[in-house]
Structure 1
Amino acid sequence: MPEPRASRPYMPGYGTLPPDEGSGLLPWSWALKRLRDSHDYWLSTVWPDGRPHLMPVWAVWHDEALWFSSSLHARKIRNIRAGSAVSVATDDALNPVVIEGTARVMKDSTSLRTFMAIMNDKYRTGYTIEFLDPACNATVRVRPRWAFALRECDFPGSPTRWEFH
């Protein structure tokens, strides 16, 4: 997948600088490191009646997407299955990376085994593939449409938005 296109988001009233001032646009590698290294992520979905729903999840960045799992009965999964939009943010509020994208429940055994191996490695756990049983658990892949990030130490000069194709 080619690197996403970066631009300075239009943020009137925030005092942000043009892309050629401040530190300039952040490199995608800066955001990618935070997407990979974050321990916790904040997942936002929407109830069918329009109310927001926000929950922390463990997740991994793999194959140009963020992956997590949850019980089939969890509100976040029921919202996703009902067609909810999805936003996810890393756990560092001072240097955040936020993605918005399409969530898809994955069921093929190759994807589930790969996801479980990466999760066990990242979180130093020893879950078996049975933990991801599709009869009671959903493994979700969120492919970003866009991402946003900034550095607190250069708030006016660092906001960057990436578009994915």
Structure 2
Amino acid sequence: MSASGAVTGPEPAADRPHMPGYGIRDADEGGGLLPWSWAVERLRAARNFWLCTVRPDGRPHAMPVWGAWSGEALMFSSSVPSRKMVNLRANPQVVVTTEEAENPVVIEGRAEIVTEPGALQRFIDLVNAKYATGYRVDFLDPVVNATVAVRPQRAFGLRQGDFTGSPTRWSFGT
């Protein structure tokens, strides 16, 4: 991870998503494709995120969560027996979105439980700085509170002020 919080390595591939009926312009028209750094700024700044999981019976489940962008993944924690964690154990494919609908970032990825002590400490440091909390790393005891990382496989973003000329889809090759 770089100091800016960007994904290390090559930038994700960007293209225009298929959005029939919305008058979306070609990738080189309007504002053009958004850089990944635009999405990272919003992931870092968002206070709340919407997490969308699938229940074992196939019904959708959406819940708000606090989260922090680690530079490689959107991370959050949740009580081990919570509905979202039950869902993630059955199906780790998730969607996470920023709360702002006018300039959204939507991540599709696979949720992974994090237990490595250094990663837990990094997450606690990010949460404490972002939310002005004073949690200690023992708050993330994996028996009680699962820590989850969602690394993007695909992401989507657009600027409300350039609705037809900014929609961008990023692919991470995973």
TM-score (norm 2): 0.92
Identity of aligned residues (%): 58
Cα distance in 2, alignment partners of residues 108 and 62 from structure 1: 14
Cα distance in 2, alignment partners of residues 109 and 7 from structure 1: 37
> After superposition, what is the alpha-carbon deviation per residue over 1:43-94, rounded to whole angstroms, capped at 9, x for unaligned?
0000011100000000000031100000001111111111242000001100
TM-score (norm 1): 0.97
Mapped pair 1:58 → 2:88: no
Cα deviation for residue 109 of structure 1 reads 1.1
Match of 1:159 in 2: 167
Cα distance in 1, alignment partners of residues 77 and 10 from structure 2: 27
Match of 2:6 in 1: none
Cα distance in 1, alignment partners of residues 65 and 38 from structure 2: 22
Cα deviation for residue 125 of structure 1 reads 0.3
RMSD: 0.8
Cα distance in 1, alignment partners of residues 29 and 150 from structure 2: 32
- AA at the equivalent of 1:79: N
**Runs of 5+ unmatched residues, structure 2:** 1-8
Match of 2:97 in 1: 89
**SS of aligned partner of 1:30:** helix
Match of 1:24 in 2: 32
**SS of aligned partner of 1:103:** strand
How many residue pairs get matched? 165
Match of 1:119 in 2: 127
Match of 1:78 in 2: 86
Match of 2:136 in 1: 128
| Structure 1 residue ranges (4+ consecutive) displaced by more than 3 angstroms after TM superposition | none
Cα distance in 2, alignment partners of residues 55 and 121 from structure 1: 23
- AA at the equivalent of 1:11: M
CA contact (8 A) 1:58 1:68 kept: yes
| 2:43 aligns with one of 13, 17, 35 | 35
- AA at the equivalent of 2:169: R
